[in-house]
A = this chain, B = another copy of it.
Amino acid sequence: MRDYPQHYCGLFGIFGHPEAAELTKCGLFALQHRGQESAGIVTCHEGQFYDRREMGLVAQVFQPEHMTTLQGDTAVGHTRYSTTGSSRTDNAQPIIVDGIRGKIAIAHNGNLTNAVQIRDQLEAKGSIFQTTVDSEVILHLLSQPPHQNDLVQALRHVEGAFSLIIMTPKELIGVRDPHGFRPLSLGRLKDAYVLASETCAFDLIQAEFVRDVKPGEIVVIDRQGLRSIDAFPLHQRRSLCIFEFVYFARPDSNLSGRNVYETRVAMGRQLAREHPIDADVIVPIPDSGNPAALGYSLESQIPFQMAFVRNHYVGRSFLQPSQFIRDFNVRIKLNLIPELVRGKRVIAVDDSIVRGTTSRTRVNNLKEAGAKEVHMLVSCPPHKHPCAYGIDFPDPSKLLAAKWNRQQICEFLKADSLAYLSMEGMLQATGLNPDSFCTACYDGNYPVACSPADKHYMETQRQETLSLLNQDQPLPWRAAGTENGVKREPGASGG
């Protein structure tokens, strides 16, 4: 459990099921961990689109009265933690536009690394934008010459991470960028095709897993069936985000055929082999540290104890009371059982350390409860670099490992020792080809060139343009041929 915004986006789509909207609601619910800020569903019935997109959790946004309006047997849904685009209803996805081909809805997981450049080019040619979501540029590219209607050519213009689900009046389309940064899987529910960010969404609706959408693949589903297009044949590199295995994906999902929970247990076992410590008890930091801690326990035979108790009723609405309660936000989520650690040598296992403030609190909780020693073990290497592909890490100035070495971090945490899983150990625990991952946040090796990863970059960039406009001399509207008609009246605001 870390102290940074934790999730980003979940996608779900279904084609050819009479309960399309209800199933999409369920699918988004299973993917809620990938985005809690807003949720949206767009359905298609006889060529018409119906939608609901609002701020809030899935269960709040889709009330029975909304579901009845979401007609049709095809749907696309989105849960969102904003990666680009600020937190506003207008930015709730899926985005819907209307153009020469009719309506198009698009849902996006990932981060386009050249969205700002494309937007600047499009605006120069006269395009206008109604959101600050980076995927809006894809809709323009799809609608304009020269690639009007040519999905493949249009998509070849964008770079970075993009798992997409696109809905048209006749098709449901799944797209995964050639590096395959973000997951996207294909399933079936009777005659219907289903697309989802993670396989756990299939389990809830009892759909059958078919296969992952491949990096660089486009799947087009229509009444004739499914066509697969190998859209980026020249790209070679496979770069699934390793952090999906470490933290993001739900433990009951499978990525590239590997179960996430089992992979995390394997990381914990590997951690025990790399960093054996003589201790009395293993304590996971709930809930994300559970499997790795269990793995360490299984490998080391040191007892595992769930000493931190989670309060399940924590929601957005519980506000900080006045300042008299120290560390309120930290206490309200987890309470420690002192009896389990008093006088003991404790190994605390977490999946990662980013800012370190929460970890320091946990070490402090354990020490205050009487732990004799606290050894902090982390089931991945140190995070030293921001993510350019959709995960909202803080900028390097706040990334603990970007500033300090292990010894310094250990002192900051006030732990008795600190150890990280090695890069090799992490990759090996997946059981997959170690070359098939993006590990940029650990080693700075970015598969796609990128400008500084700032989720507000698009807005910031616009802001700079606007600043130029705020100079002393405004850019007056041209009023060709009408200057004779212009009269001035006294200035407002003493202008």
Could you tell me the distance in whole angstroms from the C-beta of A101 to the nearest C-beta in chain B?
Answer: 7
CB distance from A279 to the nearest CB of B (A): 15
Assess whether A238 is interfacial by the CB under 8 Å rule.
no
B474 and A171 contacting across the interface, CB-CB below 8 Å:
yes
- Tell me whether A402 is interfacial, beta carbon within 8 Å: no
State the CA gap A478–B309 with chains docked (Å).
Answer: 43
Whether A29 contacts B318 in the complex (CB less than 8 A), given A96-B130, A337-B259, comes out as yes
Of the stretches A325-333, A413-421, A432-440, the one at the interface is A325-333
Q: Are B462 and A102 in contact (CB under 8 A)?
A: yes
Q: Are A22 and B251 in contact (CB under 8 A)?
A: no
Q: Is the interface of A mostly helix, strand, loop or mixed?
A: mixed
List, in ascending order, chain B residues with CB within 8 A of A192's CB.
Answer: 492-493
Q: Say yes or no for A169: interface residue by CB 8 A criterion.
A: yes
Residues of A421-454 at the interface with B, using a CB-CB cut-off of 8 Å, are none
Output the nearest chain B residue to A97 by Cβ-Cβ distance: B128
- A37-81 near B? 1/0 per residue, CB < 8 Å: 000000000111000000001111001100000000100000000
Do A492 and B16 have beta carbons less than 8 Å apart? yes
> Chain B residue with minimal CB distance to A26?
B321
Q: Which residue of B lies closest to A171 (CB)?
A: B474
**Does A117 have its Cβ within 8 Å of any Cβ on chain B?**
no
The answer to whether the Cβ of A408 comes within 8 Å of any Cβ in the partner chain is: no
Closest to A123 in B: B100
Q: A28 to nearest B CB, angstroms?
A: 10
B470–A170 touching, CB < 8 Å: yes
* B residues near A205, Cβ cutoff 8 Å: 325
Q: Which residues of B contact A305 (CB under 8 A)?
A: 265, 294
Q: Is the CB of A469 within 8 A of B336?
A: no
Residues of A within 8 A of B (CB): 15-16, 19, 22-23, 25-26, 29-30, 32-33, 36, 46-48, 57-60, 63-64, 73, 89-90, 95-104, 123-130, 132, 139-140, 143-145, 148-153, 169-171, 173, 191-193, 200, 203-206, 218, 220-231, 233, 250-252, 254, 259, 261-262, 265, 287, 290-291, 294, 298, 303-307, 309, 311-313, 315, 317-319, 321-322, 324-326, 328, 331-332, 335-337, 339-340, 462-463, 465-467, 469-470, 474-475, 477-482, 484-495
Closest 10 CB pairs of A and B: A230-B485, A225-B491, A126-B144, A47-B466, A16-B493, A223-B495, A97-B128, A22-B321, A226-B489, A99-B128
